[in-house]
């Protein structure tokens, strides 16, 4: 293994950033369907980001989609987290953690890995705080990969 794969714990594969973005977007959408709560969803889509841990920051990339669900009350979001924890395994995800995070507020956190793609999910239920309304923040992201040259580039 090389230095990057030693640090990552896996050998980064040669993948199309466009295809990885599609996978991350599809899994983000599926996660939203699993929570079964109709609230407001933040804007934005998956973006490819370079890994800044090596000599060449453009050598490895991952795709990350950050979004949140808000605009509904705490009990609805609490139910959304319960629904998500229940539905993830039946939709090809392995739940690694479901419990309080390390914050002062002890927010509920679900960490999961999609078994077929190794895409990761972090969902955190942030109850009503002094800073704003309750929400669930989501981070759906790929493993690091070597970006394949897209046709026409």
- CATH number where 124 lies: 3.40.1000
Helix (H) or strand (E) holding 111: strand 108-114
Does residue 121 contact residue 138 with C-beta atoms inside 8 Å? yes
Q: Is residue 126 part of a domain?
A: yes
Higher model confidence: residue 89 or residue 43?
89
Residue 104 lies in a domain: yes
Residue 95 located in a structural domain = yes
In degrees, to the nearest 5, what angle opens at C-alpha 132 toward C-alphas 126 and 133?
Answer: 65
* Average pLDDT along the chain: 86
Class of residue 131 by CB neighbours under 10 A (exposed 0-12, middle 13-18, buried 19+): exposed
Phi first, then psi, for residue 42 (nearest 5°) are -65, 155
Residue 17 in domain: yes
The share of the chain scoring above pLDDT 70, in percent, equals 85
Q: Give the pLDDT confidence score for residue 1 in this predicted structure.
A: 47
Which candidate, 136, 129, 34, places its Cα nearest to that of 85? 34
pLDDT score, position 140: 97
Q: Mean pLDDT over residues 82-86, rounded?
A: 97
Whether 8 shows a pLDDT value over 80: the answer reads no
Bridge partners of residue 10, in order along the sequence? none
Domain assignment of residue 28, yes or no: yes
Specify the pTM: 0.86
Tokens representing 41? 């969803």
pLDDT tens digits for range 98-148: 999 888 888 899 999 999 999 999 999 998 666 678 999 999 999 887 777
Specify the number of domains making up the chain: 1
pLDDT band at 66 (very low <50, low <70, confident <90, very high): very high
pLDDT at 81 over 50: yes
Domain membership flag for residue 140: yes
Q: What are phi and psi of 87, to 5 degrees?
A: -85, -25
Domain holding 19, by residue range, is: 11-42+59-146
> Is residue 55 pLDDT above 60, yes or no?
no
Phi, psi at 48, each rounded to 5°:
-85, 130
């Amino acid at each position: 293994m090389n230095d990057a794969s030693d640090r990552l714990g896996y050998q980064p594969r040669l993948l199309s950033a466009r295809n990885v973005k599609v996978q991350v977007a599809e899994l983000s959408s599926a996660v939203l369907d699993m929570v079964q709560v109709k609230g407001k969803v933040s804007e934005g889509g998956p973006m490819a980001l370079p890994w800044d841990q090596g000599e060449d920051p453009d050598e490895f990339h991952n795709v990350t989609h950050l979004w949140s669900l808000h605009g509904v009350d705490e009990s609805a979001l609490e139910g959304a987290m319960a629904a998500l924890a229940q539905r993830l395994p039946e939709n090809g995800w392995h739940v690694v953690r479901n419990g309080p995070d390390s914050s002062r507020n002890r927010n509920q956190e679900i960490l999961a890995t999609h078994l077929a793609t190794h895409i990761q999910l972090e969902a955190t239920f942030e109850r009503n705080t002094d800073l704003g309304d309750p929400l669930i923040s989501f981070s759906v992201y790929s493993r690091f990969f070597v970006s394949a040259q897209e046709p026409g580039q």
